[in-house]
Structure 1
Amino acid sequence: MKTLLMLAASATLLAAPALAYDRYAERPPVMVSPDLSAPWVLQLGRDPAEVAPRRQAREPKLRQVPPKVQQRAVQRRQANPAQPQLAALRAPEKRTVQPQMNPIYLPQQVAYDGGEKPGTIIIDTIENFLYLVEEGGQARRYGVGTGKPGFEWSGTHKVTAKREWPDWRPPAEMIARERAKGRVLPAKMEGGPDNPLGARALYLGSTLYRIHGTNQPWTIGGAVSSGCIRMRNEDVIELYERVPVGTKVIVR
């Protein structure tokens, strides 16, 4: 028995140094099974978006207003009818868009080869143009509104008077004619931006016809008047400054 114990102790003493030096020895490489390593190697060559796709943003859920809350809101609006509603405050303001005048009727310098002297006014009621004859075979051309069907006329007159922001006194025939259409005209309207005669008026001979401005510039270029020659306010002001009383006016 003693002999066996001594042999075991000797074996333990001999193996101890060997175990102490094992930790400094080179260890064998770790081997991984292909079944485990293949999926990881494949992932290294893929697009990251395929491996971990981005989550789609969730649509926000609308908050449902309980029926009792809706009912209380209706009751508050009914109790305060004078309180402006939010929808009314946000409603866009409606604006009246006036039609535009054709640019062809804007003032232009044109050639003139007629026989009238410089300073003469010629009105073409077919094309709706007014020409102020100038020196050197030139004329200043303006767009005008002329008499509507049944109110056309032609002739030669002179400018007998000039007025700035003239009053308007509709003739009795016009008052009666408009009354039959359901429109009541005043016996007199003071001069101003709302006056149908506009900013200036040039009176023709002893007639009731005038070359005058208008508060409806989009009508220039049409047959729209009761016989008068209608111009834009800025155009009639220019003409007013350029022609004196006594100027010859030819209406064709």
Structure 2
Amino acid sequence: MLRRDFIAGAGALTVLGSKGSAHTPTLPVYDMPEELLPREVRIQNDLTPYEVHVDPEQFALYWTLPEGRAIRYAVGIGRPGLYEAGEFYVGAKKVWPSWKPTPDMIRREPHRYARFADGMPGGLGNPLGARALYLFQPGRGDTFLRIHGTNEPDTIGRRVSNGCARLVNDQMINLYDRVPLDTRVVLHPVVNLPT
């Protein structure tokens, strides 16, 4: 999908804040370039409101709204060969989720992931960040794909993950608060990015 096919024009920049709580770690303030800040945009496609669409060619996630509008967030996506296009639904939501690498992750990069085979508790150093949306498919259940936070802003706009889409933590909290369980999620295919 090309950028011109998805966006009709950008609306006014809307910087979205995060909600905090006394029981959560203090999030760092990310000094993100303006083009990576969330913003409301007009979209050409006749997409159903209140869905999540990830356009890997733009490194963008769209939370669709009524009347041809959406909130656009900048994301990092799966590395070549690990990004999985398809239709999913949000089967679980977690605040400061724990994390455990999949057996495939350990097999691909044992030097990096084997030490976490028993898992890692939630927190700022956790790869899933402050919030996570767990992607499921009918008949398959949990796909082990996530839309999650990160404390590594330099990974946004890049193909860096093990298949998941990532947003900086404060933007992920904002998205998490908008997206209910059972929301439809579409990870659009990669067409024009090098593999």
Does the pair score TM above 0.5? yes
CA distance in 2, matches of 1:232, 1:124: 17
- Cα displacement (A) at 1:158: 0.5
Instruction: Tell me: CA distance 1:193–1:182, structure 2 relative to 1, closer, same or farther (3 Å).
Output: closer
1:248 aligned residue: 184
1:138 partner amino acid = R
Q: Which runs of 5+ in 1 are unaligned?
A: 1-98
Aligned to 2:92: 161
Which structure has the bigger radius of gyration? Answer: 1
Change (3 A) 1:198 1:226: same
Match of 1:185? 115
Bigger proportion of residues as helix: 1
Q: Return closer, same or farther for 1:247/1:176 CA change in 2, 3 Å cut-off.
A: same
CA distance in 2, matches of 1:121, 1:174: 26
Equivalent residue runs for 1:16-165 within 5 Å? 101-165=32-96
CA distance in 1, matches of 2:76, 2:62: 13
| CA-atom RMSD in angstroms | 1.7
Question: Which of 136, 151, 165 is the equivalent residue of 1:215?
Answer: 151
TM-score (norm 2): 0.74
CA distance in 1, matches of 2:113, 2:163: 19
Contact 1:158 1:246 in 2 (8 A): yes
The answer as to 2:165 corresponding to 1:237 is no
Change in 2 beyond 3 A, CA 1:116/1:146: same
What is the CA–CA distance in structure 1 between the aligned matches of 2:133 and 2:64, rounded to whole Å?
Answer: 17
Q: TM-score, normalised by structure 1?
A: 0.58
Gaps of 5+ in 2: 1-29, 137-141, 189-195
Task: Give aligned-pair identity as a percent.
Answer: 44
| Equivalenced residues, count | 153
Q: Deviations over 1:21-52 (max 9, x none)?
A: xxxxxxxxxxxxxxxxxxxxxxxxxxxxxxxx
**1:63-91 CA-partner distances (Å, limit 9, x unpaired):** xxxxxxxxxxxxxxxxxxxxxxxxxxxxx
State the 4+ residue runs in structure 1 displaced beyond 2 angstroms.
99-103, 181-185
Whole-Å Cα distance in 2 between the matches of residues 182 and 195 of structure 1? 14
Which has the bigger relative contact order, CA under 8 A and spacing at least 6? Answer: 2
| Shift, 1:152, TM fit | 2.1
